[in-house]
A and B are shown apart, each in its own frame.
Chain A
């Protein structure tokens, strides 16, 4: 069965919960679960991709709806998509963390006027420090952010954490919480009008599931 929609499904941490929800509203996602290499499942209208690519496909209309984290949407604020539903799962917190002990970022701000912050979430970090009126140099890294404060590259990091385990293992402590991120259902603005009935049906079923 298909909902008559192309659905962008995130691979990675959100994938299993997402497929559970799609099963619960009547799609049979067993083929998606059993086939790790295949990306497009035409029978049920599912395409799979990195969570950060979901807004790209949905904005362009290559997918009608998609599921991705609020962290991704916050990092791509210019995307023209509808945010329809907080799905509740995939709960993580965007945090500002530093090495345990006296806060080195406070020391840096006081004596040098600028704190250096490593992150994969460049726009999120820029916006946060602007809103809180602090001068920060944002260092964009692609790999493990936890390494940056340990080597002296930066005084602090902005990163997403679910349990805090990786932070603790690297002797980092949470200093501030920016926002809570959960999975969201998003929709293309044109599909939202031209496929209104299909999208509303999916939305109601997901609310009830």
Chain B
């Protein structure tokens, strides 16, 4: 075998967390994006492009993930590489569609950039396919977004996936019904976002609540399962899950059968206000994508409209499809 050190050509490095895509892989990625694009187009979502670079101050209005890459332009303005497409489209809606009759439907296939620890399925530059449905409130808008997402995933040939469905406001609503202060609530929600139930339990233990109430506040965010978990909910929990129930009732059977309710689902982006969801496939240890409602995001850019959207990670989808293929062959 030839020693690796015998390389006789020059190696030019590329930045950490980026990669080249060569024709064999590119053909497979195109198959995925074309299948998804077909569904988005059919469902009335018009494709948009926005600049990869935006003013940092404009992105900052949205409250998404902090940008990882910043540059100065020739006027000394700070530009940043977008961390998702939701905030650029919120800007676009407020600026370019300020008087259009809602609902508005957009889709995109675009790279975004985050300062993550690069590993399989999570690079610093990553391709997302997604939609934004603007001006369609819950529950109808949420149900439409979930349906489009399911149809797109099915169109790629993915079979084993499930959708975790939760509500970003659920735990806060519950805490308020127990008269927990906002400051303490922030800490408890932070523990939930960190997925740390040990921390949540120790912080709940310090609250001046009955043991039964503490148990409830610890147990509820760990509830996952089919629609029976909504039926089992009683008292303040039943009120908190009412929104999820209304969404579920609108779903077609082929979408509803994919849904796993997850009363503790907390996505780490600050702009979610209502329903949130993630896609899981047994072939990959991380979600393939996700989304949710952000009913006050576009208002921050000057046009108050309720909105919902999702993004699928094309690399992750590709890995999951390859994994499912391998599982069939075994």
Residues 56-83 (chain A) with a chain B CB within 8 angstroms = 59-62, 78, 80-83
Q: How far is the CB of B19 from chain A (nearest CB, A)?
A: 18
Question: From residue 161 to 209 of chain A, which have CB atoms closer than 8 A to chain B?
Answer: 184, 188-194, 196-197, 200
A24 interface residue per 8 A CB criterion: no
Interface of B is mostly: mixed
Question: Which residue on chain B has the smallest CB distance to residue A81?
Answer: B195
Known: A193-B162, A200-B222. A83 touches B196 (CB 8 A): yes
Which of B5-13, B132-140, B281-289 lies at the interface?
B281-289
B162, A194: Cβ atoms under 8 Å? Answer: yes
Interface status of B106 (Cβ within 8 A of chain A): no
Of the residues A80, A85, A196, contact of B198 by C-beta under 8 Å: A85
Q: Is A84 engaged at the interface, CB distance under 8 Å to the other chain? A: yes
In the bound assembly, the distance between CA atoms of A86 and B195 in angstroms comes to 14
Total residues of chain B contacting the partner, CB 8 A: 24
Kindly report which residue of chain A lies nearest to residue B278, judged by CB atoms. A193
Q: Which residue, A60, A80, A84, A184, has most C-beta atoms of chain B within 10 A?
A: A80
Residues of chain B within 8 A of A81, CB atoms compared: 195
The residue that B224 contacts in the complex, of A85, A86, A193, with Cβ under 8 A, is: A193
Chain B residue at smallest Cβ distance from A64: B285
For B117, what are the chain A residues with a Cβ–Cβ distance below 8 Å?
A: 78
- Within 8 Å by CB of A196, from B225, B282, B287, lies B225
A193→B262 contact, CB < 8 A: yes
Q: Chain B: which residue is nearest A82 at the CB level?
A: B195
28 interchain pairs, CB-CB under 8 A: A59-B285, A60-B120, A61-B284, A61-B285, A62-B285, A78-B117, A80-B195, A81-B195, A82-B196, A82-B197, A83-B197, A83-B199, A84-B197, A86-B201, A184-B198, A189-B285, A189-B287, A190-B281, A190-B286, A190-B287, A193-B164, A193-B224, A193-B262, A194-B162, A194-B260, A194-B282, A196-B224, A196-B260
- Compute how far the CA of A56 lies from the CA of B135 in the bound complex, rounded to whole angstroms: 42
Query: Measured between C-beta atoms, what is the minimum distance from B242 to chain A in Å?
Result: 22
